[in-house]
Structure formats: structure tokens, C-alpha cells
């Protein structure tokens, strides 16, 4: 190896130094930072400005029909906390977010392991599982509304009737309606998250399993000792997406149950849209949005911190997943 090859170029060395009045270094930093400006511009105008404006409107009686808005202090926040329908919406939203996150994670990982095995028609089976992720949730909701119709002629009830089962009020009983929305949400998203896990699973070296087999590890021990720990970066990403997506769910419950019966499957996002757009109560809807943003932030960061903690405990030092690097 020649000396020229190992010695850094003089100019680069000089620019790389921040000390000694290196004006070129500052210029380089400024140029580098300039590339961030478009992203900063988008962030400020599409996130910060609307957020600040929403917060301001939450303190007013803004109707959306006139720029005039009277300052009402915390009245909108008080109304929300005293409104049973909004509290019901908050309750079901949390139930949906946590329920789908847990169920999809529990189902998608074993599914991934099975879909990763070599068998005839594997790609077709993978496609079948992935398919529900393609149509919009709104369309799925409308289709499932007919499947789960509480009438005797409903698709599912017709099938059950062949086994002598009486019609079940899937969408007309509070608990069943909540369960139905969650189950359809799980059905629609499990395949997508299984594909996410598959990408991580395929990057686990086969040698680990060969060594484990030689050491006499059972398939169950291999799963809990190798697969699951090395999938923790994927778990972090998947659960984060599920939790944030679940908290802002709107289209599925709206089309499947329209928030009913009563307020059993009402969601926060539906409440914001109905109050703001439908009822011209932008002040109230803004207050709800602010509270919701804070709640989502707290939940998301808590979940992220928890999963990162678990990830640090399980991830193998010699391996670096995309989420942990």
C-alpha cells in the first residue's frame, strides 16, 4: 500500500477541521444545511403552522364560515371532557389501537415463520394474505357490513344457520360490534405486517438455525431463542405503525358500523370530522384534535421507548437491524 493511498488529501483534511478559522468548513456546513431547507419548509408549513393554528382555534368559537372567532378560553376543552360521546370515542379508539396492535403482532409473526418455509404455492399463499391490504379500508368496511349483517340473510349468519346456529347480532350488540371492527381491522392488516416481518426474517442467517439444530434445539426453542429476538427491530416498526394507525382510525368503523350502535364504535377521528366539518364547530373539533395529538404523542413515545428497551435487551450485538442502527 503506497503512502499516497493512506494519506488524506490535504484540502479535505483542512476543510474537515472546524478549528483554526477554517472558513471553508463553515461554508460546507452551510451548504449541507441548505439541503435541509425544503424539508424544513414542508415541516413548518404543513405541520407546525397548522398545529399552532389548530391550538389557537381550540380557544375560540370558530365556525369555519367566517374569519371572525371569539376567544372562549378553555370552554371547548371543558365541553369535550363532559361529553359522553367524545369520551366513548376516546375509549373505543384506544381499545381498537391496542387490540389491533397486540392481535396483529401475535398473529403476524407466526404467520411469517410459516410463510417463510418452502412449500408448493408459497408465493400464492403470501399474495392471498397480503391481498386485504390492497383495497381501501372504506371498501372493506362496506363489504364486511354485508358479511356481518345481523339479519338471518347475512352472509355469516347464513353459513352459521346451516349448523343450526341462530342469527347473531354482529353489528347490533355493543360488544360484538366492537369485536367485529377489531377483527376486520386485524384481518385486513395482518398480511401486510407479515410481509414486513418476512423481510426481516429473511435477513437472519441460516447458520444460526443449523447451529441450533446441531445443539438439539427444538423448533419452539429456535423460535423463542433466535427468530423472535432477531425480529425485535421489526416489532418496533410494526407496532409503532399499528399504534399510530389505530389511534387515527376512521374509515373502517365509519363504513362498517358508522360509530354505532349508540356510540359503541365511535372514534376520536370521526368525532373530529363530524364536529368540525359536519357541525361547523371548528373550535371544539380543534380542541379535540389538540388533546388527541398530545395523547397520541405520549402513547407513541411511550411505546417507542418500551419497544426500544426490549430491543436493546434482545438484539444480538453482532447484528444491526434497520430500526436500531
Window 246-265: contact mask with other proteins (x via CB under 8 A): -----------xxxxxxx--
Give the three cell numbers for residue 1.
500500500
Segment 273-302, which members bind other proteins (CB under 8 A)? 274, 277-281
Q: Which residue number, 69 or 241, has a Cβ lying nearer to other proteins?
A: 69
Q: In the Cβ-directed half-sphere of 311, how many Cα atoms lie within 13 Å?
A: 22
Nearer to other proteins, 42 or 134 (CB): 42
Contact between 115 and 196 under an 8 Å Cβ cutoff? The reply is no
Is the C-alpha dihedral spanning 185, 188, 192, 198 positive or negative? positive
Residue (156 or 230) nearer to other proteins, CB? 156
Using alpha carbons, select from 147, 235, 150, 237 the residue that is nearest to residue 184: 147
- For cell 379508539, the residue is 93
CB of 57 to other proteins, least distance (A): 6
Q: Please tell me whether residue 74 binds other proteins under the rule CB under 8 A.
A: no
**Residue 317 cell numbers, joined:** 450485538
Options 76, 112, 149, 227; binder of other proteins; rule CB under 8 A: 149
Distance CA 184, CA 188 (A): 6
Site for other proteins contains 147 (CB under 8 A): no
Tell me how far, at minimum, the Cβ of 267 lies from other proteins, in Å: 13
Q: For 128-254, list the strands marked E by DSSP.
A: none
Q: Is 70 a binder of other proteins (CB under 8 A)?
A: yes
* C-alpha grid cell, residue 60: 375560540
Question: Hey, which residues between 81 and 100 contact other proteins (CB under 8 A)?
Answer: 82-83, 85
CB of 96 to other proteins, least distance (A): 18
CA angle in degrees (0–180, nearest 5) for 82-84-90: 100
Applying CB under 8 A, among 20, 21, 38, 67 the residue interacting with other proteins is: 67
- 186's CB contacts (< 8 A; 6+ apart) are 99, 100, 103, 104, 107
Number of residues that bind other proteins (CB under 8 A): 51
Angle between helices 282-314 and 75-82 (to 10 degrees): 70
> Should residue 158 be labelled a site residue for other proteins when binding is judged by CB under 8 A?
no
71 is a site residue for other proteins (CB under 8 A): yes
Which residues sit at the interface with other proteins, rule CB under 8 A? 45, 49-50, 52-53, 56-57, 60, 62-71, 79, 82-83, 85, 145-146, 148-151, 153, 167, 169-174, 177, 257-263, 266, 274, 277-281
Amino acid at each position: 500500500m503506497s503512502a499516497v493511498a493512506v494519506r488524506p488529501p490535504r484540502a479535505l483534511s483542512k476543510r474537515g477541521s472546524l478549528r483554526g478559522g477554517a472558513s471553508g468548513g463553515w461554508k460546507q456546513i452551510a451548504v449541507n444545511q441548505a439541503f435541509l431547507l425544503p424539508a424544513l419548509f414542508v415541516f413548518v408549513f404543513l405541520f407546525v403552522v397548522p398545529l399552532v393554528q389548530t391550538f389557537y382555534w381550540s380557544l375560540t368559537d370558530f365556525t369555519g364560515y367566517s374569519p371572525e372567532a371569539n376567544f372562549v378560553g378553555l370552554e371547548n376543552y371543558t365541553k369535550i371532557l363532559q361529553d359522553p360521546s367524545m369520551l366513548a370515542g376516546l375509549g373505543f379508539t384506544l381499545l381498537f389501537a391496542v387490540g389491533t396492535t397486540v392481535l396483529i403482532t401475535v398473529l403476524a409473526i407466526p404467520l411469517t415463520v410459516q410463510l417463510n418455509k418452502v412449500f408448493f404455492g408459497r408465493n400464492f399463499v403470501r399474495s392471498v394474505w397480503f391481498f386485504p391490504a390492497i383495497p381501501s379500508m372504506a371498501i372493506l368496511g362496506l363489504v364486511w357490513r354485508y358479511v356481518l349483517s345481523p339479519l338471518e340473510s347475512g352472509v355469516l349468519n347464513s353459513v352459521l344457520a346451516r349448523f343450526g346456529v341462530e342469527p347473531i347480532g354482529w353489528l347490533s350488540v355493543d360488544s360484538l360490534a366492537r369485536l367485529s371492527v377489531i377483527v376486520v381491522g386485524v384481518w385486513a392488516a395482518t398480511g401486510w405486517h407479515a410481509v414486513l416481518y418476512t423481510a426481516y426474517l429473511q435477513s437472519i442467517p441460516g447458520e444460526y438455525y443449523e447451529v441450533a439444530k446441531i445443539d438439539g434445539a427444538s423448533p419452539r426453542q429456535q423460535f423463542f431463542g433466535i427468530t423472535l429476538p432477531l425480529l425485535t427491530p421489526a416489532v418496533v416498526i410494526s407496532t409503532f405503525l399499528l399504534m399510530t394507525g389505530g389511534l387515527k382510525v376512521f374509515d373502517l368503523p365509519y363504513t362498517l358500523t358508522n360509530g354505532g350502535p349508540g356510540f359503541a364504535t365511535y372514534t376520536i377521528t370521526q368525532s373530529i370530522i363530524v364536529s368540525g366539518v359536519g357541525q361547523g364547530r371548528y373550535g371544539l373539533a380543534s380542541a379535540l384534535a389538540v388533546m388527541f395529538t398530545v395523547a397520541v404523542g405520549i402513547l407513541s413515545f411511550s411505546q417507542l421507548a418500551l419497544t426500544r428497551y426490549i430491543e436493546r435487551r434482545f438484539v444480538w450485538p453482532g447484528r444491526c437491524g434497520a430500526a436500531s442502527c
